[in-house]
């Protein structure tokens, strides 16, 4: 059934858990990218300090987005446990399976998003 809460949880929980595990693994991979940039004017052939700072800023932005996604996925799991998964936080209407297919952590329906 389209909006049966048990079916939704059974279908989407594994997807959310897999994405959570992947994102948690990504954190370890980006730790080195977020290290402070060291100025080494004696080096030849290395990235300039500006390039390194730009890469660090990009890595920080990616990390912020990753953390926001982790929070969203965790909140979706909490809604599952509370029996509220699949229903809009604002209006209480069913979010819609197609929207959940695109983003299983979607907290709101299209109208309220």
Q: What was the pLDDT predicted at 59?
A: 87
Residue 108 lies in a domain: no
Mean pLDDT of all residues in 28-51? 60
Chain segment 51-86, per-residue pLDDT in tens: 777 888 888 899 999 999 999 999 999 999 999 999
79 contacts: CB under 8 Å, gap ≥ 6:
85, 107
Q: Are 70 and 80 in contact (CB under 8 A)?
A: no
Residue 24: band (very low, low, confident or very high) from pLDDT cuts 50, 70, 90: confident
Percentage of the chain beyond pLDDT 70 is 79
108 contacts: CB under 8 Å, gap ≥ 6:
88, 89, 90, 95
CA distance 86 to 109: 9
Residue 99 has pLDDT above 80, yes or no: yes
* Alpha helix positions (H), the chain: 5-30, 49-82, 97-102
Q: What was the pLDDT predicted at 64?
A: 93
Q: What was the pLDDT predicted at 42?
A: 56
- Tell me how many domains the chain contains: 1
Residue 33 has pLDDT above 80, yes or no: no
Alpha-carbon distances, residue 37 vs 32, 50, 53, 77, 82 (angstroms): 11, 9, 6, 37, 45
**Residue 31's domain spans which residues?**
5-102
Residue 111 lies in a domain: no
Q: What was the pLDDT predicted at 32?
A: 59
Q: What is the pTM of this model?
A: 0.77
Residue 27 lies in a domain: yes
Residue 34 has pLDDT above 70, yes or no: no
């Amino acid at each position: 059934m389209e909006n049966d809460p048990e079916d939704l949880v059974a279908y989407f929980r594994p997807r959310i858990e897999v994405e959570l595990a992947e994102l948690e693994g990504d954190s370890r991979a980006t730790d080195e990218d977020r290290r402070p940039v060291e100025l080494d004017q004696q080096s030849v052939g290395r990235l300039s300090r500006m390039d390194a700072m730009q890469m660090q800023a990009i890595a920080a932005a990616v990390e912020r987005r990753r953390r926001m996604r982790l929070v969203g996925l965790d909140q979706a799991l909490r809604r599952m446990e509370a029996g509220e998964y699949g229903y809009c936080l604002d209006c209480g209407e069913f979010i819609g399976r197609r929207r959940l297919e695109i983003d299983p952590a979607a907290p709101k329906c299209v109208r309220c998003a």
